[in-house]
Amino acid sequence: MLIYRYIAEVLFFLFIVLTFFGGILAVRSKLLIHSVLGLAVCFIGVAGLYFYLGSPFLSMMQILIYVGAICIVLVFGVMVGYTPTEVAEKNLKGKNLLLAIVSCTTVFSLMTITVFKSDFTPSIEKAGDFSMLWLGRKLIYDYCLAFELISLVLLAAIIGSIILGQGGRGDD
């Protein structure tokens, strides 16, 4: 029993490291395609944390929607309308750096205050069957409206990336 707890703790910290370093790669990379890759790694880490916390449905939706759709749309948009010579130099000097530090400190402080003032109660409900059949039935019967709204958002993202991609190229 002790080995299972050890493995669970190692997986938890692995998901945290994936999320953290994926976010760092997404923010600090100079190439846009590397930023999208970092974003996908970050989303996979968040999905692992959802699964670890006992929400396999949310974890599957995170992978299907964010990793499987949004990151693919971003990669498609990057490949259609972005040339590798357009490397943006990041200028974090002076006022921008101060603004970033103040913003991060404020958000971290508010999150810390919220965590310490909240009364968290453990969830009694345990995750049951989370097979693909169960997931499909949940999507079709219980979450049909939400699933259709998500598909409309993804359609808008695809159309937007195509329009942006066509706008970046000159008609020769």
Contact between 47 and 67 under an 8 Å Cβ cutoff? The reply is yes
Residues 6+ apart with CB under 8 A from 123: 54
| pLDDT at residue number 29 | 84
Record the tokens describing residue 130, joined without a space: 């989370």
DSSP 72-88: HHHHHHHHHH--TT-PP
pLDDT mean values, one per 10 residues, the chain (172 residues): 83 91 87 85 91 86 83 75 55 65 85 80 60 79 83 81 69 50
Taking only the tens place, the pLDDT of each residue in 144-160 is 888 788 888 878 877 87
Residue 120 is given by DSSP the state -
| pLDDT at residue number 85 | 56
| pLDDT at residue number 129 | 61
CATH architecture of 2-87+130-167: Up-down Bundle (1.20)
Give me the residue spans of the domains in the chain. Answer: 2-87+130-167
| pLDDT at residue number 16 | 92
The single residue listed with the structure tokens 């972005």 is 82
Helix/strand/coil for 147:
helix
Record the tokens describing residue 19, joined without a space: 């999320």
pTM of the predicted model, to two decimals? 0.55
The size of the chain, in residues, is 172
| pLDDT at residue number 97 | 72
| pLDDT at residue number 130 | 67
| pLDDT at residue number 46 | 92
